[in-house]
A = this chain, B = another copy of it.
Amino acid sequence: MDERKVILRELLEQDPADVAEVLSDLSEEQATDLIHRLFLRHAAAEPLGEMEPEDSAELVIRLDRKEASEILSRMDPDDAVDLLFELPEEIQRELLSRLSTRDAEILTDLLAYPPDTAGGLMSPEIVPLSLTMTAQDAINLLRRRVEEAETVYYAYAVDDAGGLLGVLSLRDIALAPPGKGLSDLVVRDAVAVHVEADAEEVARLFDKYDYLALPVVDEANVLLGVITVDDVIDVIRDEATEDIYGLAGVPGEEGVDTTWWASLRMRLPWLYVRLFTALAGAVVVGLFEETIAKVAALAVMMGVIAGQGGSAGMQTVTIITRGMALGEMERRKGWHLLAKESLLGGANGILLGSTVGAITYLWKGEFLLGVAVCLAMWLNLIIAGLAGVAIPLGVQRLGKDPALASGIFLTTVTDVLGFGLLFVIAKLLLPGI
């Protein structure tokens, strides 16, 4: 038996998630070859479903259309639709046309929901139950249709129009006396999410209530599908990565595997934005060129004052944006936070300012220079606290992502004011400059 067959046989015994990892690490040629071999053993659908949809789409594009559509029909519909989303519309249509009418209908319906909504996360594979059934009836029905259901850890009771009546746990059904009616087991006011609800909102519900699955309904309360906790873990991870990247000025979905050229195209525009905001600070410094020529010590300390403002302000921005992401911001009013952060900035500022002021005095022996440095630091940190609250709240109100945009605005404020305050205060306090 040749070596490739041995490897294939070993792969077939692995968890699909492990096979997905192997596929991601291979070159595109090798990966499509391996998919073809897995396909012949009906084993290609699950690993492709476990891959990032962008990556699996690139491989599926390279398969012949017949093979691709058969793999698609074997995938869980929520994974299949994520993959379809990444394909050009032409290929989407061609693949859908090769599916059975029922499969094509299900996927076309799902494609209508944006990926970052409850509809985009849900699986339509549910086995609805009627409340007239007994526990034993339900077990018998689920036993027949187990393959169709995304999760049967929960089952959902619906009325004749498909309206959601309540949730049933398989545990309760299985462990109840067989003759017990489902109407005695159902939890009636079950939490359900609207099909257009935001994915992050769905993630917060799962996080707060520790659900394993949530039913998805439309305006008329008709049951459309189910979202399981494993899909939500991906949302939580991706959301966290987005926030981390936003705060650090990494726009886009970069990772350690991104090529240098793709990285360049993502990072460079942001660095240019950052450059032009930094030049705003430079313009302020440029206004005081003569002052600098007279008292070069100001040039030495100005970076420290601006930098501390940026550091303290980013602490505030970070806590506010993370609070927004975790849904903790409603509880506290913006005014309350403005008061807290300006108080905090004032306290931090006077301590740090005294330290730097004292160092400046010891270095240059000019008391008023030390006072100017201290005052500039104090005022800049109060402003940093205020801006650290106001900027993310304002950016959010404009409907933009507060994590990405806030840092740019904040450092511009703390640079411009850090430099400006020092020079203006020095000119007021020091004689002859």
Q: Which residues of A contact B (CB under 8 A)?
A: 15, 17, 21, 25, 50, 139, 142-143, 146, 152-153, 170-171, 173-175, 191, 206-212, 229-230, 232-234, 236-237, 240-241, 243-245, 247-250, 254-258, 260, 263-264, 267-268, 270-272, 274-275, 278-279, 281-282, 285-286, 289-290, 292-294, 296-297, 299-304, 306-308, 311-312, 314-315, 317-320, 322-323, 326, 328-329, 331-332, 337, 340-341, 343-344, 347-348, 351-352, 355-356, 359, 363, 411, 415, 419
Contact = CB atoms under 8 A, between A and B. Distances in A.
Contact of A175 (B142, B303, B320, B415): B142
Contacts of A320: 256
28 contacts: A21-B208, A142-B174, A146-B171, A170-B174, A173-B174, A207-B234, A233-B236, A245-B318, A248-B315, A248-B318, A249-B315, A250-B318, A255-B319, A255-B328, A256-B329, A257-B331, A260-B344, A263-B344, A267-B348, A271-B308, A271-B312, A275-B352, A275-B356, A278-B304, A279-B359, A281-B304, A292-B293, A307-B411
Nearest to A244: B244
Given A175-B142, A278-B307, A332 B153 contact: no
A243 to B, nearest CB: 6
B303 A278 contact: yes
B303 A281 contact: yes
B171 A152 contact: yes
Contact of A292 (B139, B211, B299, B306): B299
Lowest 4 CB-CB distances: which A-B pairs, in order? A240-B240, A174-B174, A256-B323, A210-B230
A266 to B, nearest CB: 9
Contacts of A146: 171, 175
Nearest to A290: B296
A72 to B, nearest CB: 20
Contacts of A247: 244, 247-248
Contacts of A153: 153, 170-171, 212
B329 A244 contact: no
A241 B318 CA distance: 10
Given A21-B208, A255-B323, 8 more contacts: A142-B175, A143-B175, A207-B234, A243-B244, A245-B318, A271-B312, A279-B356, A293-B293
A249 B311 contact: yes
Contacts of A173: 174
B257 A332 contact: yes
A17 B315 contact: no
